[in-house]
Amino acid sequence: MNDGVRIAPRSDDVLDIVLTRPALSPDMADAIMRALDAMPVATRAVFLHAEGPDFCTGRTPVMPPAGSRATALELRRLIADPVLDFYQRLRDVPVPVVIAVQGRAAGVGCALAGLADVCIAADDATFSVPEMDKDIAPTLVMTALADRISRAALARLVFGREPIVASEARAIGLIGLTCPAGELMQRAEALLAKLHGNSVPVLRGVKSFLNLHSEMSFAARREAAALINAVVTAEKFRG
């Protein structure tokens, strides 16, 4: 338990991560990364969701006090690198990451939704990248989303700044599924139950291919598909 996040392995081999306040702090991100690093090898999925009316409305301020003299390198270490490391760690989780979104997913919340393998959103959820309203360049969020959605969709989110509804987020590929708000957890748990029916080697093999395929030529994808399939099959027989 960390102030702002509750993390526990479940009996169905799911690592449950619950945001208990809407603004993500550096301590919350650190706690999540530590839990991912310590995740048991038998884990079949990571489930990230939130309490309260909103999923995640951004992150707590990390800027130095007004009047501080800081170099660009110091600002990078303070502001950019921690959140980019957090995004990278979520992206590299070796099993499916399922995220359930209700209410607002803004800034880092929108990035988290895009980083999920499967994001299920309530049909009244909204997604936005509002950083430019405060004259902040949202390149950190853009890094998380750049290979998830098209350039046009990303530019619209960043420059337009208006929240988009869940149905539009699904249409542009930001999220995977929508459902009535009252069914959100039921739909998420149904998906997690399906994943529990798969072996760990299969889940890890599929996740590995998903992480790699967009950066490969067809020939490289063909080779990766064959190798991953062979390794997964061998692991199942060995088990």
CATH number of the domain bearing residue 57: 3.90.226.10
Q: Same domain for 14 and 101? A: yes
What pLDDT does 12 receive? 96
Q: Same domain for 13 and 103? A: yes
What pLDDT does 65 receive? 67
Q: Same domain for 213 and 168? A: no
Give the span between the Cα atoms of 237 and 192, in whole angstroms.
Answer: 24
Give the span between the Cα atoms of 13 and 41, in whole angstroms.
Answer: 9
Q: Same domain for 49 and 167? A: yes
Pairing of strands 118-122, 164-165: unpaired
Q: Same domain for 127 and 228? A: no
What pLDDT does 239 receive? 60
Structural domain boundaries enclosing 88: 5-194
Per run of 10 residues, the mean pLDDT along the chain (length 239 residues) is 89 97 94 96 97 94 72 83 95 97 98 97 98 94 95 97 97 97 97 96 95 88 92 81
Q: Same domain for 144 and 117? A: yes
Q: Same domain for 136 and 53? A: yes
Burial of 238 (0-12, 13-18, 19+ CB in 10 A): exposed
Rg (C-alpha) for the chain, rounded Å, is 18
Q: Same domain for 120 and 61? A: yes
Q: Same domain for 153 and 214? A: no
Burial of 32 (0-12, 13-18, 19+ CB in 10 A): buried
Q: Same domain for 166 and 99? A: yes
Give the span between the Cα atoms of 101 and 112, in whole angstroms.
Answer: 10
Q: Same domain for 63 and 168? A: yes
The domain total for the chain is 2
Q: Same domain for 179 and 126? A: yes
